[in-house]
């Protein structure tokens, strides 16, 4: 059973976001750390974070076109089956700054 993403009229990808509950008591954060795995992936990946505050995630293709823009809160699974093979830049904006990551999609 595979989950697919929806596309809008302009072709923008609308990924399915699956939130993961944050376990344990809140810990004061001095630095937010995010990681993306697996990398490379098939379009489905997880952003793992030590934060439970809202973060804005923007994904861009290799020529700089925005693929999606969404808000996450805590560790989040992203299902984007319709991503084409290639290299994508991901910008994660937090309350302490911007984290830039690169994601490789292979088919």
| Domain extents in the chain | 6-21+42-105
Looking at the predicted structure, is the pLDDT value of residue 43 above 70?
yes
| CATH number of this structure's domain 6-21+42-105 | 2.60.40.3080
17: its two tokens = 């976001």
Looking at the predicted structure, is the pLDDT value of residue 20 above 50?
yes
pLDDT value of position 24: 58
| pLDDT tens, residue by residue, 53-107 | 899 999 999 999 999 999 999 899 999 989 999 999 999 998 888 999 999 999 8
Distances (CA, A) of 58 to 20, 24, 51: 19, 28, 17
Q: What is d(CA 43, CA 31) in angstroms, rounded to the nearest whole number?
A: 28
């Amino acid at each position: 059973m595979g989950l697919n993403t929806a596309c809008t009229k302009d072709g923008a990808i609308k990924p399915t976001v699956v939130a993961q509950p944050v376990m344990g008591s809140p810990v004061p954060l001095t630095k937010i750390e995010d990681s993306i795995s697996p990398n490379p992936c098939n379009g489905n990946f997880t952003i793992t974070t030590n934060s439970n505050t809202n973060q804005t995630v923007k994904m861009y293709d290799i020529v700089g076109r925005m693929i999606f823009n969404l808000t996450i809160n805590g560790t989040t699974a992203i299902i984007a089956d319709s991503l084409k093979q290639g290299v994508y830049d991901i910008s994660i904006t937090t309350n302490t700054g911007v984290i830039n990551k690169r994601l490789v999609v292979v088919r």
